């Protein structure tokens, strides 16, 4: 009987070890592998957009390049249509592509957004 219990406790330990191994398998950061070109030994930039709520029902969109804020878009300077566009996935993708193309000023970004919204509304 005692041998049987030892055997059962061994199974429990092996299951938890197996679970720990499975959890470690997925705990690696995907950026470590997806954004590193092994053959060139070059690490690509991480560019992301995050929307923040600010007091008085305001909001901001911040564009980050590797954890460094490179552009802030004030929601108070945008129309309702422009804000709704930036809420969508398409809007965020557009914002990322505009940044990658080199837009640095808010005025040029706003002009391009108006043109984009006019073309998408006319279709």
pTM here?
0.62
Residue 38 within any structural domain of the chain: no
Could you tell me the two tokens for 37?
């070109």
Q: What is the pLDDT of residue 35?
A: 58
Question: Tokens at residue 53, please?
Answer: 């709520």
- 47-54, strands of its sheet edge to edge: 47-54, 58-65, 68-74
Instruction: Note whether residue 39 is domain-resident.
Output: no
SS3 of residue 47 by DSSP: strand
Taking 90 as the threshold, does the pLDDT of residue 77 lie above it? Answer: yes
Q: What is the pLDDT of residue 42?
A: 73
**Structural domain count of the chain:** 2
Q: Which of 76, 118, 70 is nearest to 95 (CA)?
A: 70
Nearest residue to 106 via CA among 78, 73, 62, 84: 73
Q: What's the mean pLDDT in 77-92?
A: 92
Q: Is residue 37 part of a domain?
A: no
Same domain (yes/no): 11, 49? no
Is 49 inside a domain boundary?
yes
Domain limits for position 16: 2-27
Q: Are residues 12 and 63 in the same domain?
A: no
Q: Is residue 40 part of a domain?
A: no
Nearest C-alpha neighbor of 114 from the set 89, 90, 87, 79: 79
Q: Please indicate, yes or no, if residue 36 is contained in any of the structural domains.
A: no
Domain match, 20 and 55 both: no
pLDDT for residue 59 is more than 90: yes
Q: Which two tokens stand for residue 42?
A: 């070059």
pLDDT digits (tens, 9 = 90+) for 5-29: 444 444 444 444 444 455 544 444 4
pLDDT value of residue 120: 79
């Amino acid at each position: 009987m005692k041998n049987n219990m030892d055997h059962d406790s061994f199974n429990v330990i092996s299951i938890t070890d197996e679970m720990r191994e499975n959890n470690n398998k997925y705990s690696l950061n995907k950026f470590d592998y997806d954004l590193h070109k092994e053959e060139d030994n070059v690490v690509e930039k991480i560019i992301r957009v995050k929307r923040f709520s600010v007091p008085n029902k305001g909001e901001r969109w911040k564009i980050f390049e590797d954890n460094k804020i490179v552009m802030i878009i004030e929601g108070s300077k945008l129309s309702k249509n422009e804000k709704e566009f930036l809420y969508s996935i398409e809007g965020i993708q557009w914002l990322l592509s505009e940044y990658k193309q080199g837009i640095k000023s808010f005025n040029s970004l706003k002009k391009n957004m108006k043109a984009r919204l006019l073309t998408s509304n006319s279709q």
